[in-house]
Structure 1
Amino acid sequence: METGSEAILLSGQSGGVATLTLNRPAARNALSVALMSELEAALARLAADPTVKAVVLAANGPAFCSGHDLKEMHGLRGREAVASVFDQCVRVMTAIVRQPQPVIAKVHAMATAAGCQLVASCDLAFAADTARFATPGVNIGLFCSTPMVALSRGIGRKAAMEMLLTGHPIDAATAERWGLINRAVPSETLDTVTAEIAALIAAKSSFTVKTGKEAFYRQAEMGLDEAYAYAARVMTENMLAADAAEGIDAFLSKRPPVWRED
């Protein structure tokens, strides 16, 4: 919590899908130390909850997320204080990647700097066709170096460098074409589209999804031969797991599978 009585991060759950909603609308959901702390804690709590199959990251107000809280950052004194904020941001972004459940960004409006990083860090992202994305740090003498890590892993290098060097915002159609988001949809259908995808994922085996998500990110950093060797080991373990046996038996028996609860 920050000053005031209203929660800065809202949490809800329905049908195996947890929703975390950034709730600093007056600050355009800037990532204050307090908000990042709550987000980090909420992700850790959800990671340990076997009833949660997918996580949706949403926001209230006129922006999805405007990045770091520059007013807060401007008041910091000393290298250690500044470094601690960026270290905390790194923990939040890596927590999303390492979250056992898939994390889906539901982007209704502008996402800039660390807010764009937040979108790029999520496993999936769906956006209103009116949303915009930018890494404008270069405009104020602060290159978006940490957002660059997630951005350059999510889209092509030339596209990432264009965003980083110009600071110019891109529209949702461009973000979809470049691979920053999965799909740009009309604003009025964003909730439905995101909910449908989250429900599809929530219906899968949690063990299988967790295994696959972890393997995806690990193999992506490997050379081809190492990646195939690693993926073959993962698939062998997956094949021997109870949910794979259940899934194959259900497929052959033409019945719905009954997944185990982790």
Structure 2
Amino acid sequence: MTDILLRERHQGILRLTLNDPTTRNSLSEAMMASLAIALDEARQDDETRVIVIAAEGPAFCSGHNLKEITARRRDEDHGKAYFAKLMAHCSALMQEIVHHPRPVIAEVNAPASAAGCQLVASCDLALASEQARFATPGVNIGLFCSTPMIALSRNVSRKHAMEMLLTGEMISAEEAERIGLVNRVVATQLLRASVDDLASRIAGKSKAVTKIGKEAFYRQIDMPLADAYDYAARVMVENLLMQDAKEGIGAFVEKRAPDWKDR
């Protein structure tokens, strides 16, 4: 049986590849469970410094598995309990990406729709090929993309998010870059190399510093301005007392490469 999630680790970069092309890499129960396990294991792995989420096949991720959802309508409660569990599971997965101590990069080489678009938006960074497309098309099948809306509206402006949500139409990779859903678009044949280059540059930083910085970014983003400055000042003090801050500043002053200890 083919693994639906492939894992590859090289020089501190953990690559997780969605590998269920027959369902267009849907976020099935099995796929979400596999991703959750891999992310949890990466928390404990000192060698992992950056995580990349990529995909094989004709789609990056098509969102929830609608066949699984339809099958549970035969339940006594018409699927209500299952739907609640499914949405909770998906929400927990997206929050795990946001709160993960390692930076997470989406490598998008094909369409990402519904919860697949949510997956891209939940990652810290995203690079897309010219072939990538993005949509929150639930409105077209009577199912407004309410949970994908959470991640989408935290990445792009309200009006851009509402247009995607209300029309359900696909947008190009270039449009996704313009509105801030992805960092940049590169030629298809250069996508993996571009992601590897970005991941390697991040992996070369202090793991302790990127961890404290990522956590601070998401905690401050929705705070009132004064509260955000108070919080960030405390983080800066904590960071300044870390060994890697002492080493990094010393290396800069002494004009040499830093020797990170990740603490």
TM-score bracket, shorter-length normalisation = over 0.9
- Identity percentage over the alignment? 55
The Cα of 1:48 is off from its aligned counterpart by 1.4
Partner of 1:137: 138
Can you give the 5+ residue segments of structure 2 that lack an aligned partner in the other structure? none
Asked whether 1:92 is paired with 2:88, we answer no
Give the one of 67, 73, 77 matched to 1:71: 67
Partner of 2:105: 104
Partner of 2:35: 39
Give the whole-Å Cα distance in 1 for the aligned partners of 2:111 and 2:174.
13
Partner of 1:249: 250
Partner of 1:114: 115
Contact 1:11 1:19 in 2 (8 A): yes
Partner of 2:216: 215
Give the whole-Å Cα distance in 1 for the aligned partners of 2:174 and 2:43.
32
Asked whether 1:193 is paired with 2:177, we answer no
Partner of 2:163: 162
Give 3-state SS (helix, strand or coil) of 1:154's partner: coil
Contact 1:50 1:261 in 2 (8 A): no
Asked whether 1:52 is paired with 2:48, we answer yes
Give the one of 23, 30, 35 matched to 2:19: 23
Give 3-state SS (helix, strand or coil) of 2:31's partner: helix
Partner of 1:258: 259
Partner of 2:173: 172
Contact 1:56 1:106 in 2 (8 A): yes
Partner of 1:146: 147
1:260 counterpart letter in structure 2: K
Question: How far does the alpha carbon of each residue in 1:31-89 deviate from its partner, in whole angstroms, 9 at most, with x for none?
Answer: 10011001001001001111111000000000000000000111113311111111110
The total of aligned residue pairs comes to 258
Asked whether 1:9 is paired with 2:5, we answer yes
Give the whole-Å Cα distance in 2 for the aligned partners of 1:252 and 1:18.
33
The Cα of 1:261 is off from its aligned counterpart by 4.0
Asked whether 1:224 is paired with 2:222, we answer no
1:67 counterpart letter in structure 2: G
Give the whole-Å Cα distance in 1 for the aligned partners of 2:94 and 2:20.
19
Moved over 4 A (4+): none
Contact 2:138 2:168 in 1 (8 A): yes
Report the aligned-residue RMSD. Answer: 0.7
The Cα of 1:27 is off from its aligned counterpart by 0.9
The Cα of 1:221 is off from its aligned counterpart by 1.5
Contact 2:13 2:52 in 1 (8 A): yes
Contact 2:157 2:179 in 1 (8 A): yes
Give the whole-Å Cα distance in 2 for the aligned partners of 1:167 and 1:98.
28
